Structure 1
Amino acid sequence: MLPKSIHPSLEPQTKTLHNKPTLTSSITSLLKPLSSPQIPRSWIFFTVLFIQILLLCNLRMFSSPIPSPLPAPIVHHSSQALDQCGSGKVFVYDLPQTFNYEILQNCDNLNPWGSRCNSLSNNGFGLNAAALAGIVPEDLLPAWHWTDQFVTEVIFHNRLLNHRCRVKEPESATAFYIPFYAGLAVGKYLWLNSTAEERDRRCDMMLRWVMDQPFFKRSNGWDHFITMGRITWDFRRSSERDWGSSCIYKPGLRNVTRLLIERNPWDYFDVGVPYPTGFHPRSKSDVTRWQNFVHERQRSALFCFAGAPRRAFRQDFRGILLSQCREAGESCRTVNCTGTRCSNGTSAILETFLDSDFCLQPRGDSFTRRSIFDCMVAGSIPVFFWRRSAYLQYELFLPVEPGSYSVYIDRNAVKNGTVTVKNVLEKFTRERVRQMREKVIEYIPRLIYANTKDGLDDMKDAFDVAIEGVLKRTIKCYAALLVTDSGLVIMLIKIPLSCSRFSSVFLEQS
């Protein structure tokens, strides 16, 4: 049953429906029998489902749009706070430290090949990148770090603990954050000859704790979210012998929004967030200073590629790109990333991106790669060969129109020799390149994680965009539910596909 505090924000939707006489009479006649105490609960359930389907089929008949969903009421806050937190408030669970801080304290044993303590230092940003002296402006050098690509769990947790819209009372919250470092916890077990039980142990322990919380029970987790600092496929083991953990497939996590550096495009609860880059501005002025720097940069190469071939793969696509790059002569620059040379970024990578108009972004070990964001932060225009590398991943963070900031080339045409990368990129005029670069530079704030407790004033970084997106998703599902005076959910209005599974949860609890 929904809490009564949500009802006032939903009343406008109810009144709007009453202005639709054609639909109202049929709905009223259907609803009257539901008030009878003799009606079995199963009949109520199926009747409500029928009404939902009826409404969804008739939404196109509405002559005027349904008002935008309103957030649940927030009390005891100033008008200024309400303006800053219009999308809602966040409650951070005080999980036992074995799920987060103790994992960090055990940084020497998180990787089978060596310590991760350096990469997890400085609140997850890693060691300062002093080697970039002479490549980046001197006043911005302290904002650059050797940041590991798997640390979003630490970054989000630290920022949320200091977030202006964090509340200490769960009754006031719109969404609930679970600060479990799932990626760090499973990391070393991915490469060892470990058992399925070892890979799942901490996730199982966390879910037992969270599922026992009253606000999780209230919604079955649909207003909860978590940051999982690896790609989604590391948490989607289908059988004991497969790769990774099965954390995402656990019943307790199915309705929880998951922030991942690579999402499953067909799972609504996966949200793709940018890989961490090495640039972590300390202020808004740091960002604008960097944007001006990359905008004025003189670029000598048409395109570049930073990566390593995958010789174990038949007709390795990366090998084809490296070959075309060599054949392009001075038009292309490469950075050899064989082994772990480029694991946390290098000065050679940044300098190459700064000197190139375009940067080639084939798929990595999975469909995405951190290099996409390193490239764009340097003001270089990404060239994609798989749509799942960006277009189906980071909708909250990138421009709506892919052609405004990137180039897509059919990889099959490259493989069979129909086109060459150089010939495609040479056809873009200098004016078109300038326009695309300006769009990339405009979006740099949304691709980076600031090194501040309070954000970048009125400028939104990747963290701000992600949290706002989570809160809006939660609000939509709250506002999609209409409730009777007795608390029974009777129908769903303008329902997002994502909320459809939630209806049965609330009906069963009513």
Structure 2
Amino acid sequence: MMEKPLMRKCCNNQICNYENSITTQKSESLQFTTSKHIYIHDLPRRFNQELIESCESITVGTERNICPYLVNSGLGHEVEDLEGVLLNKSWYSTNQFLLAVIFHNKMKQYKCLTNDSSLASAIYVPFYAGLDVGRYLWGVKASIRDQSSFDFVKWMVSQPEWEKMWGRDHFLVVGRISWDFRRQTDNESDWGSKLRFLPESNNMSMLSIESSSWNNDYAIPYPTCFHPSKDSEVLQWQDKMRRKKRPYLFSFAGAPRPDLQDSVRGKIIEECQASKNLCKLQECSYGVNGAITCDNPANVMRLFQNSVYCLQPAGDSYTRRSIFDAILAGCIPVFFHPGTAYAQYKWHLPQNYSKYSVFVPVKDVKDWKAGINETLLRIPEERVVSMREEVIRLIPNIIYADPRSRLETFEDAFDLAVKGILDRIDGVRKVIRDGGDPSAGFADGDDFKYTFSGYVGET
């Protein structure tokens, strides 16, 4: 006997069929003033599929070949875990730069898609801008870096969907930091493209692994290597993290940044090395050995699973994937700058940051007085237990479930990102309905976003 297709209420309470999630009933859907319907723009292949087909031309910071990471819907190859660190077969060699591909594949399975753009609450634009600019970041003229961006916005504004809200209901997703798309001059030596400074792009919202200080950029979690296909795998992993014995007070996985004078990493490494019985250090220097050690999720998970706290200084930019590896391992993150997490992942992490993390503000490394040992040892055990439980509870929020399946009861990072952007666009619509100017504040800069004002650290 054939089973009934899985049914859920969605799209503003109408029934969605998971085996046929494309909604076409226009008259029925128009009864709702708001909905969760999303329309996927069918872009010319050069903006997405052809980039994948020519993956050998794409470089990332370490110059590694990105092509092997494209298998399994962008998750990479399944990781072989001979020591049982990872527990089940839900782990992959995921590359953070492929977030756009993973997100696109998950969006294709979104429960409330529509093929009628007039019914959509949001227009998803699957332009793999990060993969595109990744071909040209090093030693290539600025005009070449920008060419695809110009072509992209020219195509976008020629589509009938653009006129509805002049792009303010459009969004794209990239697997690079937002600053890679905000080059402010045409100097050849300046970094990145100027996609986000093009007037048309300025009307759109962009979701990326790290946001800028502009209001139309939003941060969503880096992809980790854990991509469960069912709820039981999430529950099993959470239970494993609750039962872990954690012999080290704190740990750090990373490399020093001697060329960045304001980086606290050097001080952190010094403190860790001086606290051998309390701290475990895993160096991830560039080069064959370091890359292999830290690229293997089993090695990183083993370190963080054995630690009560995981130190999370800024990386080459404010954020780093290690934040989410730590949460995944049930390890309480310790932050030194609000721009590393608190001012970033507002859709995915609690506003009350003291519930799940420790904040040790370091405004100037020259005045380093952190005393990490003393700071962490002063925290009462009951608060440690509470923070760890909150971290473990957050695990579903920061993972991207396997695009080839769907979690039943958990909302993952994709779900929360979609909910966040829909709320954002609904807010713009309300401004329009109330007779306001939808451009007011939409893409303004926030000079205080990454300051220490309003954030209280441990004493």
Task: Give the TM-score of the pair, scaled to structure 2.
Answer: 0.85
User: Contact 1:148–1:344 (CA<8 Å) still a contact in 2?
Assistant: no
Cα distance 1:86–1:425, how it changes in 2: closer, same or farther (>3 A)? farther
1:236 corresponding residue in structure 2: 182
1:127 corresponding residue in structure 2: 77
29, 39, 42: which one pairs with 1:94?
42
User: Contact 2:262–2:365 (CA<8 Å) still a contact in 1?
Assistant: no
Task: Describe the SS at the equivalent of 1:271.
Answer: strand
2:309 corresponds to 1:365:
no
CA deviation vs aligned residue, 1:32-67 (integer Å, no higher than 9, x gap): xxxxxxxxxxxxxxxxxxxxxxxxxxxxxxxxxxxx
2:128 corresponds to 1:177:
no
Q: Which moved more, 1:278-287 or 1:128-137?
A: 128-137
426, 436, 449: which one pairs with 1:492?
436
Measure the CA separation in 2 of the matches of 1:291 and 1:86. 35
2:360 corresponding residue in structure 1: 409
2:28 corresponding residue in structure 1: 76
Task: Describe the SS at the equivalent of 1:364.
Answer: coil
Task: Give the number of the structure with larger relative contact order, counting CA–CA contacts within 8 Å between residues 6 or more apart.
Answer: 1
Task: Describe the SS at the equivalent of 2:28.
Answer: coil
Q: Which moved more, 1:116-125 or 1:406-415?
A: 406-415
Q: CA deviation at 1:75?
A: 4.0
User: Contact 1:235–1:248 (CA<8 Å) still a contact in 2?
Assistant: yes
1:397 corresponding residue in structure 2: 348
User: Contact 2:362–2:368 (CA<8 Å) still a contact in 1?
Assistant: no
Q: Return 5+ residue gaps in structure 2 as ranges.
A: 1-11, 13-24, 445-459
2:98 corresponds to 1:151:
yes
Measure the CA separation in 1 of the matches of 2:178 and 2:306. 33
User: Contact 1:372–1:382 (CA<8 Å) still a contact in 2?
Assistant: yes
247, 265, 269: which one pairs with 2:195?
247
430, 438, 443: which one pairs with 1:479?
430
User: Contact 1:304–1:352 (CA<8 Å) still a contact in 2?
Assistant: yes
Cα distance 1:343–1:205, how it changes in 2: closer, same or farther (>3 A)? farther
Measure the CA separation in 1 of the matches of 2:256 and 2:155. 44
1:451 corresponding residue in structure 2: 402
User: Contact 1:476–1:496 (CA<8 Å) still a contact in 2?
Assistant: no
Q: Which amino acid aligns with 1:223?
A: D
Q: CA deviation at 1:158?
A: 0.8
User: Contact 2:203–2:443 (CA<8 Å) still a contact in 1?
Assistant: no
411, 420, 424: which one pairs with 2:375?
424
Query: Percent identity at matched positions?
Result: 36
Task: Describe the SS at the equivalent of 1:369.
Answer: coil
- The size of the alignment, in residue pairs, is 413
Task: Describe the SS at the equivalent of 1:477.
Answer: helix
User: Contact 1:405–1:440 (CA<8 Å) still a contact in 2?
Assistant: yes
2:170 corresponding residue in structure 1: 224
User: Contact 2:229–2:404 (CA<8 Å) still a contact in 1?
Assistant: no
1:317 corresponding residue in structure 2: 264
Q: Which has the larger radius of gyration?
A: 1
Q: Which amino acid aligns with 1:272?
A: A
CA deviation vs aligned residue, 1:203-247 (integer Å, no higher than 9, x gap): 211111111001112311000000122001100111122100001
224, 244, 247: which one pairs with 1:277?
224
Task: Describe the SS at the equivalent of 2:239.
Answer: helix
User: Contact 2:181–2:192 (CA<8 Å) still a contact in 1?
Assistant: yes
Measure the CA separation in 2 of the matches of 1:296 and 1:74. 51
Q: CA deviation at 1:381?
A: 0.5
2:214 corresponding residue in structure 1: 267
198, 203, 208: which one pairs with 2:144?
198
Task: Describe the SS at the equivalent of 1:360.
Answer: strand
Q: Which amino acid aligns with 1:455?
A: R
Measure the CA separation in 1 of the matches of 2:169 and 2:391. 33
Task: Describe the SS at the equivalent of 2:73.
Answer: coil
User: Contact 2:130–2:174 (CA<8 Å) still a contact in 1?
Assistant: yes
1:167 corresponding residue in structure 2: 114
Q: CA deviation at 1:272?
A: 0.3
CA deviation vs aligned residue, 1:336-380 (integer Å, no higher than 9, x gap): 100051664442211000000000000000000010001111100
Q: Which moved more, 1:290-299 or 1:408-417?
A: 408-417
Measure the CA separation in 1 of the matches of 2:193 and 2:375. 41
Aligned residues: CA RMSD: 2.5
User: Contact 2:86–2:298 (CA<8 Å) still a contact in 1?
Assistant: no
1:214 corresponding residue in structure 2: 160
Cα distance 1:183–1:163, how it changes in 2: closer, same or farther (>3 A)? same
Q: Which amino acid aligns with 2:46?
A: T
User: Contact 1:272–1:393 (CA<8 Å) still a contact in 2?
Assistant: yes
Q: Which moved more, 1:291-300 or 1:415-424?
A: 415-424
Measure the CA separation in 1 of the matches of 2:384 and 2:82. 27
Q: CA deviation at 1:491?
A: 2.4
Q: Which moved more, 1:375-384 or 1:427-436?
A: 427-436
Cα distance 1:78–1:442, how it changes in 2: closer, same or farther (>3 A)? farther
Q: Which amino acid aligns with 1:438?
A: E
Measure the CA separation in 1 of the matches of 2:57 and 2:221. 26
User: Contact 2:250–2:278 (CA<8 Å) still a contact in 1?
Assistant: yes
Q: Return 5+ residue gaps in structure 1 as ranges.
A: 1-8, 10-72, 483-489, 502-510
User: Contact 1:150–1:183 (CA<8 Å) still a contact in 2?
Assistant: yes
CA deviation vs aligned residue, 1:259-315 (integer Å, no higher than 9, x gap): 010001x31110100000000011111111111110111111000000001122336
2:283 corresponds to 1:336:
yes
Q: CA deviation at 1:497?
A: 5.9
Q: Which amino acid aligns with 1:88?
A: K
Q: Trace 1:286-301 onto structure 2 (pairs within 5 A).
A: 286-301=233-248
2:254 corresponds to 1:304:
no
Q: CA deviation at 1:136?
A: 2.0
Task: Describe the SS at the equivalent of 1:151.
Answer: helix
User: Contact 1:304–1:334 (CA<8 Å) still a contact in 2?
Assistant: yes
